[in-house]
Amino acid sequence: MLFLQTATDSLAPVIQPAAQAPEQLSLWFLLKEGGVLMIPLALCSILAVYIFVERFIAIRKAGKAPADFMHRIREKITEGSIQGAQSLCKNYEGSLPRVISKGISRIGKPMDHIEKSMESAGKLEVYQMEKNLGILSTIAGIAPMFGFLGTIAGMIVLFSNIQHTNTFEIGTIAGGIYTKMVTSAVGLIIGLLAYVAHNYLNAQINKNVNRMEAASSEFLDILHQPAAV
């Protein structure tokens, strides 16, 4: 019994650090061990968040228009108050009021001219809403590449060290591999989030475009009415 107690006491310092080793594995530790290529990945993530927030606010602002906007425009034009309809458009900052305002400013000219002017205004509004979305799409593509590059570079360094030191220890190799895989995981996460954000913003833009097209068609129908002539 005394011999077993002595053996247990002598092994306790060895067993305790081994049991505590997993506690040292933290997210910050993994990110720090990811290498130099974590810097461009961090820049990509910051840029992606900034563009998403900025575009989300801009697109939401561009889509602002009351639900009864076209009904009120119809009333003004039917009453012959072109100036009143124009003033109503200027009360709002959305893309739809600006497109309708362009059409109102062309009243009295041929219908095809009015339609083309509104179409040009609509294309300009879409361009403004899509501004910088290309950067978000690029981040979705290059972030995973940065991640894979970091992993490959880490593996090259790891196996080069094994060749020069002529040592092969499973613990050292496994530790080197899982730390270098962090860049791939981070790159994939950033790319996935950027891809989802890009598609979400495109869906919001398409919603605004559909509203503008429907409002433009309704505006032309209003002008075709005898009372609007």
Most confident of the ranges 31-45, 69-83, 142-156: 69-83
In the chain the beta strands, taken as DSSP E runs, fall at: none
Q: Indicate the DSSP class of residue 109.
A: B
Query: Does residue 76 form part of some domain?
Result: yes
The whole domain housing 106 covers 32-52+68-228
Q: What is the pLDDT of residue 24?
A: 54
Average pLDDT, rounded, for the chain: 80
Q: How far apart are CA 180 and CA 32, in angstroms?
A: 10
Evaluate whether residue 4 is within a structural domain: no
Q: Is the pLDDT of residue 223 over 90?
A: no
Dist CA 88 CA 92 (whole Å): 7
CA 186, CA 182: separation in Å to the nearest integer? Answer: 6
Whether 5 maps to a domain, the answer reads no
Per residue in 98-124, pLDDT (tens digit) is: 999 999 998 888 888 989 999 999 999
- Section 78-102 average pLDDT: 90
Q: What is the pLDDT of residues 23-51, one digit of tens each?
A: 455 555 555 665 677 888 889 999 999 99
Per-residue model confidence (pLDDT) at position 157: 67
pLDDT at res. 176: 59
Q: Is residue 24 in a domain?
A: no
Residue 57's pLDDT is what?
95
In a domain, 20, yes or no: no
Task: Answer whether residue 173 is part of any domain.
Answer: yes
Domain count, the chain: 1
Would residue 216 count as lying in a domain?
yes
| pLDDT at residue 80, as a whole number | 84
What's the average model confidence in pLDDT over 163-171?
A: 64
Is the model's pLDDT at 180 over the cut of 80? Answer: no
Share of the chain above pLDDT 90, in %: 42
Q: What are phi and psi of 91, to 5 degrees?
A: -75, -10
Helix then strand then coil, % of the chain, to nearest 5? 85, 0, 15
Q: Is the pLDDT of residue 15 over 90?
A: no
pLDDT at 62 over 50: yes
Phi, psi (5° rounding) for residue 108?
110, -15
Sign of CA dihedral 142, 143, 144, 145: positive
Residue 57, in any domain of the structure: no
pLDDT band at 66 (very low <50, low <70, confident <90, very high): confident
